Chain A
Amino acid sequence: MLDKSAPLAPAQYAPAPHVPPPPPPVPYLEVRGLSKRFGPFVALQDVDLDVYPGEFVSFLGPSGCGKTTLLRAISGLDVQTTGSIRQAGRDISDLPVSRRDFGIVFQSYALFPNLTIADNVGYGLVSTGRPRAEIAKRVEELLTLVGLSEQAKKYPAQLSGGQQQRVALARALALSPGLLLLDEPLSALDARVRARLRGEVRDLQRRLGITTIMVTHDQEEALTMSDRIVVMSRGRIEQVGTPDEIYARPATAFVADFVGKMNFLKGRLVTADHVEVAGATLTLAEGIGVGAGAAVTVCLRPEDIVVRAVEGDRPNRLAMQVGVMEFIGNHFSTTLHAVGTSLNLSADLSINDVRDLGICPGATITVVLPPERLRVFPDPPATGH
């Protein structure tokens, strides 16, 4: 389990037998049993989370799931109802904002409109009582870091959205905080600038090695920028994992649904590793610990449906009729109907596949649903929803 979160050591550097295993890394931020209530409404329930030094962690989830609430608890803006938070070994659970150690960037940037860019960035430095020359040098350094040294004398309203965002970042970093908090930092920008800034922010974070938490509801942003993603729903953590894990091995049906596109197939287990779905029987790679007869949901990503090299005796090999094909740009989004059953799937087929195999609407093709790609979740009891 440990190695799932810690960077994997390449196999050829495997330690010699007599060297003791490395100690588990010490979390920089430890959140324990955190709950937040607004009157009777539970916005966060019993959240546990560890963030490691230098990590970039994203909070991802649908609107209203409690991402911002969790971030505000960590920052002390809106202190939790119960639960504790430790940062760098220090219990900060009840400390006011000014006695915590973080820099923060808001969606609105909250730049002071009447101060120049340089004064904005140096805002926190002035109160530290450092000499002017030193402050000026640090401001120059920070502005160079975010590539804005030319703009020092301008006012925020004279900069583009992306530039303002970088000023906010420089200001947050001015006091060299141990933790950087970003609340939807890119969502006010247009798509093109956003894509570029993703890379820039991530790059800067790596260079400084600063532990960072970002709130986002944009899964692409979370998947491309993060070391680990915390997927949240209704005030709880659904799953914590690397982007790869979250995408390829969603822990719950919610995660499977929320991240990426997914086929959801209602079915019933016939044996521990066979499931009957809409008249078709599918083989699973492994059981899920519930007995035969249990109602389950089978998940399969549209791009995991295999159409090439499908000859021979492979499990889950089906003849399917092609329905609608929609050209999306770099692939075809296609509906498939399994011949002789009522099973319908949506598949993403590459342009190559379509061209080479001559797939067209109405054609019947053979596909494989790889057992190791099928995720199965037991359905909640009927009363549960």
Chain B
Amino acid sequence: MSTGTTFAAAGAAPAASSARAIRPRLSRDDVTLRLLVLAIVVALVVFVVLPLSALLGKALEDHDGAFVGLANFAAYFGDPALAGNLFNSLWISALSTVICVTLAFVFAYGLTRTCMPGRGVFKAVAQIPILAPSLLPAISLVYLFGNQGLLKGWLMGASIYGPIGIVIGEVFWTFPHALIILTTALAISDARLYEAAEALRASQRRIFFTVTLPGARYGLISAIFVVFTLVITDFGVPKVIGGQFDVLATDIYKQVVGQQNFQMGAVVGVVLLLPAVLAFVGDRIVQRRQAALLSARAVPLIPKPNRAVDLTFFAICSVIALAVLVILAVAVFASLATFWPYNLTPSLKNYDFDNMDGGGWASYGNSLTLAALTAVFGAAIIFTGAYAIEKTPRFGAGRAVGQLLALLPLAVPGLVLGLGYIFFFNDPANPLGFLYGGMAILVICTISHFYSVAHLTATTALKQIDPEFETVSASLKVPVWRTFAVVTVPVCLPAILDIAIYLFVNAMTTVSALVFLYSPDTTLAAIAVLNMDDAGDIAPAAAMATMILLTSAAVRIAYTVLTRGLLGRAQAWRRR
């Protein structure tokens, strides 16, 4: 009855041989891709995992390198001054997070859910702080509220040097990070839910608490984790404006740079690693849930004009945007004044870096070199690595390890990574020790430090292109590298450029990891800001921070112009 199936069944291979499990042979492409995955795994082990283990090892040693178990930790927690700094860090971070996320939520709501005028301008202004090192807002706050500050009276006798200054500076600096996450979360909400709620005659207030907030909850949680981690691991703001108020990040710096107590520095590093890792794990869990939420077919919500609401949000957002602009402008103006605030005649004397501490204009040149190298090599390596991890057929274990390692740097504070680098690369027994003290280690450290976000951007872009490109190529006997070069890279070019810009800006602005690693030949602009501020040269510090801001902004603007113009023409295929 069943025709055909049994046609040649008599000639079937003996059962014994057909029952043997098939081990697919590897093609040349398979081998290439697997080697790439392994290369990334090895690189991340050498440049992230081993330095971290070196740090952990150091925390368990005494001054002479003998193993002492948890004795250093006991000493740390036994010292009320030191353990108190942990408490300081926690409450400062919690407070900054609450303020920052609340403001960012209101701002994001205004941008996505109202028809207030000037949304484009607001959005652009709110992004600017990301282009500056965290030292810049701190310096501005000194000018505004410091001992000779313009608005000192506003504090009613309280001092900006301490918790108040740190919280304001951190909120300013982390605001764009929270805003990006919350704008995305609020933008994906489903219009149908609102229509249903309105059809049921729910009040606006009730709709907000039953539809809007729950819809954005993953974004909110994610923003909380991200901001908390950024604040607790940030070093620039508390260093400049913390005064006598110590937090974990400044503690590490003092232990290592001030007292040369590497063991205690390592202990503080481990303590700092814990909240960062916890926040990282929490965020990962939330992200996974949100992915499920996103895949549902939602109808995008288009806000309807409402005069009262729109004007209210316009007022609130104007105040926030104005605060951002004032903080930015103060640093810029102060750097351009002859002697702020007594002599406001414009002058470039603060830009005469060569006659000051911090390495002079060479620092700025070094920073440009670092940023360019990080952007070029980082984008190439991270994108290629993400491609291999994403597209290698089978090889599940290798790819899983690669993915895990690629996300690991997100949980590692810059200071901790930098400290790990000292212990690992400065070890005379390390054959890679020759890297220490040069530009190479700065580039490697920066790429490692910012690996995860870039990797996630690359992975998202790669997931969006057709998964069958590689299959089709293989069936056409085209080697995988050719498809990578001819198809994947051009199609993903916007994401690759995004990664390059991200790395460039971060390399320009970062202080934390590199503060332990630069040498007299490789002084950097952001670290010069720190050192000039330390030496009391606040105006030149503001000037250098301004240079960093302008450079980042220029690169970003050039990028926008380039993608709209030149690149747009080369990518004609994107248009219908």
Q: Do A and B bind each other?
A: yes
B26 located at the interface, meaning its Cβ lies under 8 Å from any Cβ of chain A in the complex: yes
A172–B473 Cα distance when bound, in Å, is 10
Chain A contacts of B199 at CB under 8 A? none
Task: Tell me if A48 counts as interface (CB < 8 A to partner B).
Answer: yes
Asked if A165 is an interface residue, CB under 8 A from chain B, the answer is no
Q: Are A175 and B24 in contact (CB under 8 A)?
A: no
A264 partner residues in chain B, CB cutoff 8 A: none
- Which bracket fits the contact residues of B? 35 or more
Binary interface encoding of chain A residues 146-171 relative to chain B, with 1 for a CB under 8 A from any of its CBs, else 0? 00000000011110000000000001
Known contacts A94-B23, A104-B472; A175 and B576 CB within 8 A of each other: no
**A115 cross-chain contacts in B, Cβ below 8 A:** 486-487, 573
Please tell me if the beta carbons of A48 and B5 are within 8 angstroms of each other in the complex: yes
- By a CB distance below 8 angstroms, the chain A residues around B91 are none
Residues A171 and B25 in contact, CB atoms below 8 Å apart? no
Asked whether, in the complex, the Cβ of A112 is within 8 Å of the Cβ of B487, the reply is: yes
- B8, B20, B487: most-surrounded residue (chain A CB, <10 A): B8
Q: Closest approach, in angstroms, between the C-beta of B494 and any C-beta of chain A?
A: 12
> B23: which A residues are within 8 A, CB to CB?
94
User: Residue-by-residue, is B1-27 near A (CB-CB < 8 Å gives 1, otherwise 0)?
Assistant: 111111111001101011111111111
| Interface residues as binary, A239-250 with B (CB distance below 8 Å gives 1, 0 otherwise) | 111100100010
Contact between A124 and B477, CB atoms less than 8 A apart: yes
- Chain A residues with CB under 8 Å of B17's CB are 84
Interface string of A15-44 (1 = CB under 8 A from B): 000000000100100101100000000000
- When A75-B475, A110-B471, A127-B482 are in contact, do A96 and B7 touch as well, CB less than 8 Å? no
For A241, the chain B residues whose CB sits under 8 A away are 2-4
Q: Does A49 contact B (CB under 8 A)?
A: yes
- Bound form: Cα–Cα A213–B479 in Å: 25
A175 touches B21 (CB 8 A): no
> With a CB–CB cut-off of 8 A, which chain A residues contact B22?
79-83, 93-94
Chain B hits for A108, CB < 8 A: 466, 468
Q: Is the CB of B27 within 8 A of A98?
A: yes
Q: Is the CB of B18 within 8 A of A84?
A: yes
Distance from B458 Cβ to chain A, minimum over Cβ atoms (Å): 18
Whether A240 lies near B475 (C-beta < 8 A) is no
Interface flag for B469 (CB, 8 Å): yes
Report the Cα distance A81→B575, complex, angstroms: 44
CB-CB under 8 A from B18, the residues of chain A are 32-33, 82-84
Q: How far is the CB of A209 from chain B (nearest CB, A)?
A: 20
B332 to chain A, nearest CB (A): 42
B25 in contact with A155 (CB, 8 Å): no
> What's the Cα separation between A5 and B3 when bound, in Å?
7
Q: Assess whether A104 is in contact with B24, with CB atoms less than 8 Å apart.
A: no
B124 within 8 A of A: no
A288 to B6, CA, bound (A): 20
Known: A5-B4, A241-B4. A157 touches B13 (CB 8 A): no
The answer to whether residues A245 and B3 also contact, given A80-B22, A114-B491 and a CB cut-off of 8 A, is: yes
A239 (CB) vs chain B CBs: closest residue: B2
Which residues 222-244 of A have a CB within 8 angstroms of B? 228, 237, 239-242
A249–B472 contact, CB under 8 A?
no
Chain A residue contacts of B19, Cβ below 8 A? 33, 82
Q: Give Cα A82–Cα B23 distance, bound, in whole angstroms.
A: 9
B490 is an interface residue with CB less than 8 A from chain A: yes
A49 CA to B23 CA in the complex, in Å?
Answer: 21
For residue A95, CB closer than 8 A to chain B, the reply is yes
**Which residue in chain B gives the minimum CB-CB distance to A91?**
B13
Which of B5, B474, B573 is close to A97, meaning CB atoms less than 8 Å apart? B474
A65 within 8 A of B: no
Q: B2 near A251 (CB under 8 angstroms)?
A: yes
Cα of A75 to Cα of B20 in the assembled complex, Å: 19
Q: Is B571 an interface residue (CB 8 A)?
A: yes
B94 CB to closest chain A CB (Å) equals 43
Rounded to whole angstroms, the CA-CA distance of A115 and B30 in the bound complex is 25
Residue B308 at the chain A interface, CB threshold 8 Å: no
Residues of A within 8 A of B30 (CB): 96
Query: Whole-angstrom distance between the alpha carbons of A302 and B245 in the complex?
Result: 86
User: 8 Å CB contacts to A: which residues of B325-361?
Assistant: none
Task: Tell whether A95 pairs with B5 under 8 Å between CB atoms, given A33-B13, A104-B472, A155-B573.
Answer: no
A174 at the interface (CB under 8 A from B): yes
Across the interface, do B471 and A127 meet the contact criterion of CB distance under 8 Å?
no
Question: Is B468 a contact partner of A110 (Cβ separation < 8 A)?
Answer: yes
Chain A residues with CB under 8 Å of B479's CB are 127
User: Across the interface, do A228 and B476 meet the contact criterion of CB distance under 8 Å?
Assistant: no
B292 at interface, CB cutoff 8 A: no
> In the complex, what distance in Å separates the CA atom of A96 from the CA atom of B393?
10
With CB as the reference atom, state the residue of chain A lying closest to B8: A50
- For residue A355, CB closer than 8 A to chain B, the reply is no
Q: Is B400 an interface residue (CB 8 A)?
A: no
Q: Is the CB of A157 within 8 A of B466?
A: no
Chain B nearest CB: distance from A33 CB in Å? 4
Kindly provide the distance from the CB of A263 to the nearest chain B CB, expressed in whole angstroms.
20
Residue of A nearest to B482 (CB): A127
Please determine whether B469 and A110 come into contact, CB atoms closer than 8 angstroms.
yes
With A80-B22, A115-B486: A30-B8 Cβ-Cβ less than 8 Å: yes
Q: Looking at the assembled complex, report how far the CB atom of B76 sits from the nearest CB atom of chain A, in whole angstroms.
A: 46
Those of A1-17 within 8 Å (CB) of chain B: 1-2, 4-5
Of B13, B29, B466, B571, which is within 8 A of A114 by CB?
B571
CB of A102 closer than 8 Å to a CB of B: yes
Q: Determine which of B24, B466, B478 lies in contact with A124 in the assembled complex, contact meaning CB atoms within 8 Å.
A: B478
B196, CB-defined interface residue at 8 Å: no
Decide yes or no whether A106 CB sits under 8 A from chain B: yes
Q: Is the CB of B3 within 8 A of A128?
A: no
Measured CA separation A321–B4 after assembly (Å): 41
Contacting residue for B474 out of A84, A93, A96, A112, CB 8 A: A96
Q: Given A95-B25, A98-B29: A110 and B4 within 8 A (CB)?
A: no
Task: Determine the residue in chain B with the shortest Cβ distance to A126.
Answer: B478
CB-based nearest B residue for A36: B22
Minimum distance in angstroms from B150 CB to a CB of chain A:
55
Give the distance in Å from the alpha carbon of A318 to the alpha carbon of B503 in the complex: 82
Q: Is the CB of B3 within 8 A of A97?
A: no
Which residues of the other chain, B, contact A114 by a CB distance below 8 angstroms?
487, 490-491, 571, 573
Given A1-B3, A4-B4, A82-B21, the answer on whether A97 and B471 have CB atoms closer than 8 Å is yes
Interface check A61, CB cutoff 8 A = no
A27–B8 CB distance below 8 A: yes
Chain B residue numbers with a CB within 8 Å of A95 are 24-25
Q: Is the CB of B8 within 8 A of A240?
A: no
A103 within 8 A of B: yes
Give Cα distance in the complex from A169 to B8, angstroms. Answer: 31
Q: Is B572's beta carbon under 8 Å from chain A?
A: yes
- B471 touching A77, Cβ below 8 Å: yes
Partner of A4, one of B3, B15, B475, B482: B3
Pair B469/A112 contact, Cβ less than 8 Å: yes
A156 to B473, CA, bound (A): 17
A196 an interface residue at 8 Å Cβ cutoff? no
Instruction: List chain B residues, Cβ under 8 A from A156.
Output: 573
**Chain A proximity of B9: nearest CB distance (Å):** 6
The 5 sampled A-B contact pairs (Cβ below 8 Å) are: A33-B18, A48-B6, A75-B475, A79-B24, A80-B22
Instruction: Give 3 nearest A-B pairs by CB, closest first.
Output: A124-B476, A96-B27, A33-B18
B→A interface (CB under 8 Å): 1-9, 12-13, 15, 17-30, 393, 466, 468-469, 471-479, 482, 486-487, 490-491, 571-576
Apart from the given pairs A77-B471, A79-B24, A239-B3, 20 other A-B contacts in the complex at a CB distance below 8 Å? A1-B7, A4-B4, A5-B4, A32-B13, A33-B19, A77-B393, A80-B22, A83-B18, A84-B18, A94-B25, A96-B29, A96-B30, A97-B27, A103-B475, A112-B469, A112-B491, A113-B574, A123-B476, A171-B472, A251-B3
